[in-house]
Amino acid sequence: MTTTVFVHGVPETSAIWTPVLAELAELGHHDVVRLSPPGFGAEVPTGFEATVDGYRDWLARELARFDGPVDLVGHDFGGGHTTTVAMDHPELLRSWVTDVLGVFEPDYVWHPQAQIWQTPGDGEHAVAQLVGAPVAERAAALVGLGIPEPIAGEVAAGQDERMGEAILSLYRSAVQPALVHRGRNLPAAAPHGLAVIATHDQAVGSVEQRRRAAARAGARTVVLDGLGHWWMLQDPVRAARALDEFWSSLPA
């Protein structure tokens, strides 16, 4: 049986997957692994570079440990890591799912929070406010952004200084045209890709940008109308069904 691997993004922990994994278990998907990127719920190895390429290489090494190609699912910057692996290491994947393909389009502009993190001084100040706030305040802020309790509390508890440092390093390595350049390789992405298009997600490009990038990658699309950035938390039942239908359609 193919192992399914889930990778989260920024500023998150693997707790965001809990509700949808419970729904997937009901549908018979039990061989599931959550991988936490260094700094985002996992230790940062000595010498690790928290950059777009550093996380691609980390993920490729982790996936190579499995016995055969995996079904990879990424959200937010975890979706970015998923896409770069799909482009550069297609042999590691049976399939791949991402919700951020729009960021690889030539006309994509980073969302306001990313631009703050990418700005020296402003980024350090924003991260200090994030990790310096009490956990309860951080959880309340996450609820306001669309992450429900109790997941918000679990994510907030994992937001620490090493995460703040990783955020700044990662986002500064991704100042455009960094992802645009990498997106030129989308036609070489592994077969059997799926672009999740949550229509109310304003952070990862327009619906049109996501559709264009999916077409360049040869990936299918699934539209989750009315859902936002944390689609897997807003409607885990619909999210699980979309994933299950995709995997069920793949060659054995």
pLDDT per residue over 181-234, tens digit each? 999 999 999 999 999 999 999 999 999 999 999 999 999 999 999 999 999 999
Mean pLDDT of 68-74: 97
Residue keyed to tokens 């995460």: 163
Reported for 112-119, long-range contacts at CB under 8 A and 24+ positions apart, including other chains, are 113/203, 114/171, 114/174, 114/203, 117/167, 117/168, 117/171, 117/172, 118/171, 118/172, 118/174, 118/175
Question: What is the distance between the alpha carbons of residues 62 and 1, in angstroms, rounded to a whole number?
Answer: 18
Backbone angles phi, psi at 143, to 5 degrees: -60, -40
pLDDT digits (tens, 9 = 90+) for 103-130: 999 999 999 999 999 999 999 999 999 9
Q: So where are the chain's domains?
A: 4-248
Residue keyed to tokens 């699934």: 222
Alpha carbon distances (Å) from 113 to 10, 44, 119: 11, 23, 10
Assigned CATH for 4-248: 3.40.50.1820
Q: Is the pLDDT of residue 134 over 80?
A: yes
